[in-house]
Every structure is written in C-alpha cells, then in structure tokens.
Chain A
Amino acid sequence: MSFLEYAPAPESQAILNLRSEYGLFIDGEFREGHGTPFASISPATEKHIATISTADAADVDAAVAAARRAYDRTWSRMSGADRGKYLFRIARLVQERSRELAVAESLDNGKPIKESRDVDVPLVAAWFFYYAGWADKLDHAGLGANPASLGVAAQVIPWNFPLLMLAWKIAPALAAGNTVVLKPAETTSLTALLFAEIVQQADLPPGVVNIITGAGATGVALVGHDDVNAVAFTGSTPVGRAIAKSVAGTNKKVTLELGGKAANIVFDDAPIDQAIEGIVNGIFFNQGHVCCAGSRLLVQESIHGEVVDRLKARLSTLRLGDPLDKNTDIGAINSSAQLDRIRALSDIGEAEGAERWTAECTIPENGFWFAPTIFTNVSTSHRIAQEEVFGPVLSVLTFRTPAEAIAKANNTPFGLSAGIWSDKGSRILAVADKLRAGVIWANTFNRFDPASPFGGYKESGYGREGGRHGIASYLTSGTPARPAVAAAVTKPKTVTKGATK
C-alpha cells in the first residue's frame, strides 16, 4: 500500500446538534422571518443542511428596534468592566464549543477542518478575549477621555470566514458599547446562528446582538435603515461601493474591508523552502477565498525557474477532498456561482496567453471543486493579474530590481496586503515602506492577530479592524449620533458624554 494515501480520518459530525430550520435571532430569541426561507447546503456534497429564514424590511425594522432598545436601556449604560465580563464569557463559550463550531464551519463553508479547527475558531476566541480587555480601557483608544459609543451598528459579513468575520465585527462593537444587527452571507449562515445560541448561553441582555439572515436585499435594507449609526461591511468591492453611495450624506460611520490582489514578492535571497510554504499558504489557504490572499506572485527573474519548479512539486502534495477529513489541505469552493467565476477568469487567463498548470488531483463527483492552479508567463496587463479571482489560482510575474518589484506590486486598484521574502532585514523595511497596502507580511503570509490592525488602501476599502484602531472605529470623541435617553446613575464611565447630554 501507499503510506501517503492516508486512511480516511473524518472528524465526527455527531457533536453537531443542528435544527432543521433556523429563524432570525432578534431581541434574544429566535423567530420566523417574513421573507421566503432558503436552503443552506454543504458545498462539498451539495446536501441540504438546514432551512434558513429570510428577513424582510419589517424584520430588519424589528431587529434594529431591538438593538436600539438594548442600547438605550442597558448596554450603553453598563460599565465597561461589566461589558467586558460578557465578552470574556462569550470567548470562553466559543472555546468550550470549539469543536462543534469547527465542524459546523467546515460543513457549511467547505473549508478544511484543520483550518477551521486550528485557525478560524481559535482566532474567534482570541478576538473576543482581546476586545473584552478593551471594554474598560476606552480612554486609551486614542480619542481622548470618555469616548462615546456610536449606537446601533449594522454589520454585513462575507462567506469566506463566516464566524471569524462575525467576531471581527461584533467583539469591538460590543466592547465599545454599541449594539449590533449582523447579517451573515447567504451561503454561510450556520455558525452565526450557532453563535446566537452562545449569546443566549452567555445571558447577554436581549437585543444587544441580533442576527438576521437573508440575501442581498436584506443587507440593503439593514445598511439603509434610518436608525443605524454605524455600518461595517466586509465583502466585494462592487457591493462596498454601493454601500458607500447609500450611506453618503448620512451620519453613519462606515468601515469597508473589500477586495484585494496582493503581491507576494520573493527576492533571490529569500529563505527558499519557507518562501514556497508562504506562497502556498498565501494563495491556497482557504481555497484562495481570502481577501488578502497573495494572488500575484512577484519572483525575482533569476530564481523564477527554481521557484516555479519547487512550487509545482509542493502543490502536488496537497490533498483536495472532504473538508471534514483531518488530512484535507484544500476543501470545496463555497458555491457554484463562485466556482463559475473562478473557471471563467482562469479560461480568460489561458486565452490571454498565460501558461496554465494544475496540480493533479481527483475531483469528487458532487460539490464544487477547483484544483490548485498556477499561471506563469503572466503580464501585468492580463486580467488574471488585475482582477480578484478569489479562488486557488496564482499568477506568477517576474521582476528584476526592487524598484520594479515595488512598481508592479503597487500597480493595482487594490491595496489590502502584500508579502516580502528576503533574508535581508534592511531590504524588507525599505520595500515595505514603499508598498501601498494595509498589511505587509515579511517572511510569512496570512497571519492574523487581534492586536494588529487590518484594512486596505484604495479600492480595498477604508477603516481598520483589529487592535486599537479597530475599537476606535466604533467610538467617537464627540456625542453619539443619537444619545442614550436617561442620565446615568451608576456613572458608566464610557458613556458619560452621551448620557449626560
């Protein structure tokens, strides 16, 4: 037998206790939505997982009203230390239920269990722990003493890291004293609904966190709602642009974290084996469904051949298949629509004259799959070098000098992230200084930490999430857009300004 054909090692689904139907989570309880329910399927098998409610305009109204009530009556008047206690409790519950959450995420999203288990869920807990610590230290958020919360935050998140994006949005918003209405992506509502159960378990006051499900129309109604004070969106640039237009002229504070086309720059003195790992992790992590993915590989011309050879050898060892198998490296593409887009852009790459290479792997019969693919002979004018593919597709370009590397790396409408590989520290600093990207990794890629701000330049959006900047996004040094009604008796420090107006 072949040892490398590891025997199946599937993570058990027995730990999951899913309901067949999920309603909307409003004011601390689940209720049916008024829109037409839709099915959530597993992208790996196309099997039905659960039926999910759709929130219509009336449901959005109800959710925002619940958030407003909770903001006015409890959350904005609670001390930061007490808000922190709730967040710590949520963080611990996430850890306690981590296996269950990981299995649900892999089932619903298609990402390998080793990623949901080792990356997504631990980071979710880390985000809540981190911002729990901020809740009573808002004076140090950089906005002066007694910054005020904003009010009700409308949050719309994407399908690539469903639970992690939820944590990125909810944790800082709650720590700062806001209440939230969050809409997960249509194809990946499941873990947000499990999170709603955690919110109940944590005994969070009703209405502080509301989760409504549905497609684009639900998101439009939420973002456009008059009684919303802050809008946070992570997703595609076209949708982000539409949101920016819809909130223009209102008082809503907006953060947008949009697309990317990151350059991963490999100099000829790079630690080569680790650079190969970093390239693989940069673009094939989470099937390339990562806004900050290193989708443009810029290799110094003198080592181009060697890097491509090593890369192909390494890609040939990746295992594509059942996301719940603990040895799977590449899971399923999240939806058939996304698969169509990846295929279309790859075909265009070939038509434009780039050389296509695909790792040999068996594609399962059902579900949505795309084998790891690299394009060589790519020029900056090719569409696959310009547009975000959002899939396991890498474009390889070359450069001759650091100046050329910088120019090519910046030659994109995006500016979310970039990577630099070199053994020479001074070169890393000099190049990083000239790259227009929000996050720059040196000799690593796709590493996240709650203490580090994350966000983009140009069409990659504005505002920062994570770190002190992330909490500042949910605070104002002035009075909140709609102050809390009653004067605070128990002197909740963080809302003094709003409350005493």
Chain B
Amino acid sequence: MTGTQIVPGERAIALLGGEANDANLRRYLHGIPGVDAVGLEQRAAGLGTRSIKTTSKAWALDRIIGLIDLTTLEGADTPGKVRSLVAKAVTPDPADPGCPRVAAVCVYGDMVGHAVQALGSAHGDPDQGKIAVAAVATAFPSGRASRSIKLEDTADAVAAGADEIDMVIDRGAFLAGRYGQVYDEIIAVKEACRRADGTSAHLKIILETGELNTYDNVRRASWLGILAGGDFIKTSTGKVAPAATLPVTLLMLEVVRDWHRLSGEKVGVKPAGGIRASKDAIKYLVTVAETVGEEWLTPHLFRFGASSLLNDVLMQRQKMTTGHYAGPDYVTID
C-alpha cells in the first residue's frame, strides 16, 4: 500500500462506489470476468479469415492510410528527419493526388516544434483532413522517472504544439498491484495536457501489453486507463516485443465496447508496433468493425501506430489500380 492520495476522476467514482484508491480499484478490476486465452486467440484468428476483396479492399486501404500515426521514435531523430516524415505524411503517394493523408505524425517531445512548423497549414484535426502532431511523453518508453519529470515532459510537448500525448503507464506499479498510483498518474498527466486556453491535448494511454504479459492484466489495465480518463488506450511503445497483436487489440476493443454500453462514451484504440503489412492492417479494421462497430473507423477513435505499414499500403493501392505489383522503389521513403 502506497498511501497515495487519489485524485477522484469523474468516470471512476460512480462505478467504484467510492474513491479510486488501491483497495477499491483492486476490488473492481479483479471482479471483471476473466479472459480465456485460447478462446480469445481463436476469435481473433476467426476474424483474421475474413476475405476483403475488390471495392471493400480499396476502401479499407484508403481508410488505413487515414488512420495511421506515422511515427519516428529514434534516438537519432533530427529536425531533418522529422521534416522528411512530415512531407511523407502530407503526400504519401506523389504519383496520386487522390491518396489520403495520414492522421498524425508521432514524434518525441523535443521534435514537436519541428513537426508543427513543417506541417504548416496542413496541421490540424485529422477528422477535417488535416494532420495532427502526437508526442510521446512521460519518460517514454520505460516511464521510469519521477512524477514531476513526467508531468514536465507532457506540459513541454503540449506547449510546443502537440495535439495528442501518448503517455506510458507505470508498469512496475501496475504489476505490484499499486493501481491507485497508476490511476493517479494518468489523472495528473491528463491535467498536464491542458492548454492555457482551457482546451486539452488528447491523451493516449500506452499499456505496453508486452510487459503486462497476461490477457487478464491487459483487460484490467484497459479498464484502469479508461476509468482514469484516457481518450485512447494504446497497446505498445513499439520498443518491447511482442508489440500489438490481434488478440490483444480485440481484447481492448471489447473493453471499449463494454464501456460504451455502460456509459455511452466512446474511447479510442491504437495498436502500435509490428503491423507492417496491409493484409494484417485489414484484419484490424475487420476486428474493429465487428467488435465495436464501423463508426469506430475514424481518426478520433482508431489509429495505427506504424511507420513501414504506409508503404505496403501504397504498394497495394498501386496494385489495385494498375493490376500488378511495383517494387519498393516505386514508393517513397521518408
């Protein structure tokens, strides 16, 4: 027990029937029905066998592009690299002006300013066909820093113009059962997402499912993230294997569906890391549509965190129009 002082969140209080402390959170999270791993994986595999052809495939490929958070998260990132990424985000396929733009670019906090500048007039709400800037924060990817550093990191990125913050939860605290601490921290980061004008950057909560290890943990962490006020729950940082998998994403979508049924609120889901092929991305679209409904297939409710996926989708798109595959030299690299 940490003795953490819990900041009460609007979502949690009614559901928990009391303040969001370790004991109440534990009682609630451990009272949720368990997950049968075999059954979950079987269902995900079943969804993966859907055959998406012709017009459906063409629609899916365009939609996938519009849902991508085009990402560069390297220690070697430079303003030049970010400008190149942004150019790719704005014009994914120079040969086809009809090609949709991606939803957002995702960068480290110190690159936010460069991204905003490079986007110029293209910067804005992806629902309006513009491109948002997402920043990873809170001592990404490990999250091993003091709370004040994490909040500073977040506030910094927001001040630089980030529209979305991808935070990591404290997996150590979660696995040690200190749910109150994890909850608290999300609330505090959410607060740090507030801008001077009173609006707020959207908060994506990275569960790092590869470190949570069990599906039961993923389900609990998903609930915790939603109760604490996350706008999105996201699978992974991309720095830990396994990153996004279809069963994990399905499970998170089921939580989002249940939360929607309970509260009427719509929370987004972002699988990130390891999705490289169009064929796989289409399986995710199918899973979203058949689990929460196709109204979730919009940028403010579903994203792919990916970098190499975009070019595979572009190659598939070209194949659909020309009838044959062009090589990787016929799509641009960022």
Contact = CB atoms under 8 A, between A and B. Distances in A.
A271 B35 contact: yes
Interface string B289-303: 110001001000000
A3 B294 contact: yes
A7 B57 contact: yes
Contacts of A6: 50-53, 56
Contacts of B36: 271, 274, 423, 443
Which of B33, B50, B254, B289 is packed against the most chain A CB atoms within 10 Å?
Answer: B33
Contacts of B289: 3-4
Interface string B49-83: 11111111101100100000000000000000000
Nearest to A326: B51
Contacts of A443: 36, 38-39
A273 B35 contact: yes
Interface in A269-305: 269-275, 277-278
Which of A6, A8, A9, A277 is packed against the most chain B CB atoms within 10 Å?
Answer: A6
Chain B at the A interface: SS class:
helix
A317 B290 contact: yes
Contact of B53 (A7, A269, A271): A7
Q: How large is the interface on B (under 10, 10 to 19, 20 to 34, 35 or more residues)?
A: 20 to 34
A118 B49 contact: yes
B50 A271 contact: no
Given A3-B59, A118-B49, A269-B34, A278 B39 contact: yes
Given A7-B56, A271-B33, A272-B33, A444 B38 contact: yes
A422 B79 CA distance: 55
B43 interface: yes
Interface residues of A, number: 26
Contacts of B49: 114, 118, 326
Contacts of B52: 6-7, 9
Contacts, number: 72
Contact of A274 (B39, B50, B54, B57): B39
A269 B33 contact: yes
B26 to A, nearest CB: 17
A270 B34 CA distance: 7
B157 interface: no
A369 to B, nearest CB: 21
B8 to A, nearest CB: 28
Contacts of A8: 53
A2 interface: yes
Which of A2, A114, A274, A326 is packed against the most chain B CB atoms within 10 Å?
Answer: A274
B40 A274 contact: yes
Which of A2, A3, A4 is packed against the most chain B CB atoms within 10 Å?
Answer: A3
Contacts of B254: 273
B261 to A, nearest CB: 9
A327 to B, nearest CB: 6
Nearest to B63: A3
A1 interface: yes
Nearest to A278: B39
Contacts of B285: 3
Interface in A253-280: 269-275, 277-278
Contacts of B51: 6, 9, 326-327
A3 B38 contact: no
B4 interface: no
Contacts of B84: none
Interface in A1-28: 1-9
Contacts of A4: 289-290, 294
Contacts of A273: 33, 35, 39-40, 43, 254
Nearest to B293: A4
B42 interface: yes
Contacts of A444: 38-39
A288 B39 CA distance: 20
Which of A114, A272, A275 is packed against the most chain B CB atoms within 10 Å?
Answer: A272
Contacts of A423: 33-34, 36
Contacts of B56: 3, 5-7
B294 A327 contact: no
Nearest to B288: A3
B97 to A, nearest CB: 22
Contacts of B297: 3
A5 B60 CA distance: 12
B120 to A, nearest CB: 32
Contacts of B34: 269, 271, 423
Interface string A83-127: 000000000000000000000000000000010001000000000
A443 B38 CA distance: 9
Contacts of A1: 55, 59
Nearest to B49: A114
A7 B60 CA distance: 11
Interface in A174-232: none
Nearest to A325: B51
Nearest to B53: A9
A314 to B, nearest CB: 9
Contacts of B43: 273-274, 277
A1 B60 CA distance: 11
Nearest to B297: A3
Interface string A32-71: 0000000000000000000000000000000000000000
A317 B63 CA distance: 21
A277 B290 contact: no
A151 to B, nearest CB: 42
A353 B92 CA distance: 61
A277 B60 contact: no
B45 to A, nearest CB: 9
A8 B254 CA distance: 27
A118 B46 CA distance: 10
Contacts of A277: 39, 42-43
Interface of A: 1-9, 114, 118, 269-275, 277-278, 317, 326-327, 423, 443-444
29 contacts: A1-B59, A3-B56, A3-B60, A3-B63, A3-B285, A4-B289, A4-B294, A6-B50, A6-B51, A6-B52, A7-B53, A9-B52, A118-B49, A269-B34, A271-B35, A271-B39, A272-B33, A273-B35, A273-B254, A274-B36, A274-B40, A275-B39, A277-B43, A326-B49, A326-B50, A326-B51, A327-B51, A443-B38, A444-B39
Given A5-B56, A6-B53, A277-B42, 5 more contacts: A3-B297, A7-B53, A274-B39, A274-B43, A275-B39
The 10 closest A-B pairs by CB, nearest first: A274-B39, A9-B51, A326-B51, A271-B36, A274-B36, A7-B56, A423-B34, A272-B33, A7-B54, A9-B53
